[in-house]
Chain A
Amino acid sequence: MQTVAIPNVRQDERIGSSFNHIIQVVDMTEKAPEGPVVWDFSAVSFLHPFFLAPLAIYRQQSDREIRCENISLQMQSYLNNIYFDRMLHFENAPKEAAEQVMEYYAHRSYTPLCSFAMNDENKDAFGSIVRNIIVRQARVAATVITPLSYFLGELVDNIYEHSGAPDGYLFSQFLEREECIDICIADSGITIPGSYAKAGLFQQEIDGDPAEALRLANEGRSTKNRPGAESRGYGISTSRRMLVEGLGGSFFMLSGSAFHRYECHGLNYYANVSRFFHWSGTIILLRIPVKAPDGFNYTDYLE
Chain B
Amino acid sequence: MTQTLSLRDIYCADLFSRAKAAELASHISTDADSVVLDFTGITFMSRSFTDELLTVIDSQVPRTFHYEGRSPDIVTMMQKVADGRKRERRLGIQHPQMLTFDTKENLSKFLVAQ
Q: Do A and B bind each other?
A: yes
| A contact residues vs B (CB 8 Å cutoff) | 14, 16-17, 19-20, 23-24, 27, 95, 122-125, 127-128, 131, 146, 149-150, 152-154, 156-157, 160-161, 209, 211-212, 215, 218-221, 229-235, 237-238, 241, 260, 262, 267-273, 275-277, 299, 302-303
**Is there contact, CB below 8 Å, between A302 and B77?**
yes
Q: Tell me the interface secondary structure of chain B in the complex.
A: mixed
- What is the chain B residue whose CB lies nearest that of A237? B92
**Contacts A128-B14, A229-B85; is A276 near B111 (CB within 8 Å)?**
no
- Once the chains bind, are B99 and A271 in contact (CB under 8 Å)? yes
Residues from 58 to 114 in B contacting A, C-beta threshold 8 Å: 73, 76-77, 80-81, 84-85, 88-94, 96-104, 107-108, 111-112, 114
The answer to whether A127 and B16 touch (CB under 8 A), given A20-B111, A149-B46, is yes
Complex Cα gap A212–B102 (Å) = 16
User: Which of B12, B46, B111 contacts A16 (CB under 8 A)?
Assistant: B111
Return the contact of B76 from the options A24, A230, A302 (Cβ within 8 A). Answer: A302
Beyond contacts A157-B48, A211-B99, A272-B101: 15 other A-B pairs, Cβ-Cβ < 8 A, are A16-B114, A123-B16, A123-B19, A128-B16, A131-B14, A157-B46, A209-B98, A219-B94, A230-B88, A231-B85, A237-B92, A267-B114, A271-B107, A302-B47, A303-B84
Could you tell me if B96 and A149 are in contact, using CB atoms closer than 8 angstroms?
A: no
Q: Across the two chains, which residue of chain B brings its CB closest to A145?
A: B44
Verify B14–A219 contact, CB threshold 8 A: no
Ranked nearest first, the 3 interchain pairs of A and B with the lowest CB-CB distance are: A153-B46, A269-B97, A230-B89
* 12 A-B contact pairs sorted by A residue (CB < 8 Å): A23-B108, A149-B14, A161-B18, A220-B89, A220-B92, A230-B89, A232-B51, A267-B114, A268-B97, A269-B96, A270-B96, A271-B99
Interface 1/0 per residue, B1-24 and A, CB below 8 Å? 000000000011111111110000
Closest A residue, CB atoms, query B51: A231
* Contact surface of B with A, Cβ cutoff 8 Å: 11-20, 44, 46-49, 51, 54-55, 73, 76-77, 80-81, 84-85, 88-94, 96-104, 107-108, 111-112, 114
Contact A154 B46 (CB under 8 A): yes
A157 touches B16 (CB 8 A): yes
Expressed in whole angstroms, the Cα–Cα distance for A218 and B80 within the complex equals: 20
B20 near A124: Cβ-Cβ < 8 Å: yes
How far in angstroms is the closest Cβ of chain A from B45?
A: 9
CB pair B96 A215 closer than 8 Å: yes
Question: Which chain B residues lie closer than 8 Å to A299 at the CB level?
Answer: 73, 76-77, 80
User: In the complex, what residues of B have CB within 8 A of residue A161's CB?
Assistant: 18-19, 48
Chain A residue nearest in CB terms to B48: A157
Report how far A56 CA is from B92 CA in the complex, Å: 33
Indicate if the CB atoms of A125 and B12 lie closer than 8 Å.
yes
Contact residues in A for B96 (Cβ distance below 8 Å): 215, 260, 262, 268-270
Residue of chain A at shortest CB distance from B93? A219
Contacts of A271 in B (CB 8 A): 99-101, 107
Indicate if the CB atoms of A153 and B92 lie closer than 8 Å: no
Cβ of A127: which chain B residues have Cβ within 8 Å of it?
Answer: 14, 16-17
Taking the closest CB of chain B, its distance from the CB of A254, in whole angstroms, is 12
B4 to chain A, nearest CB (A): 21
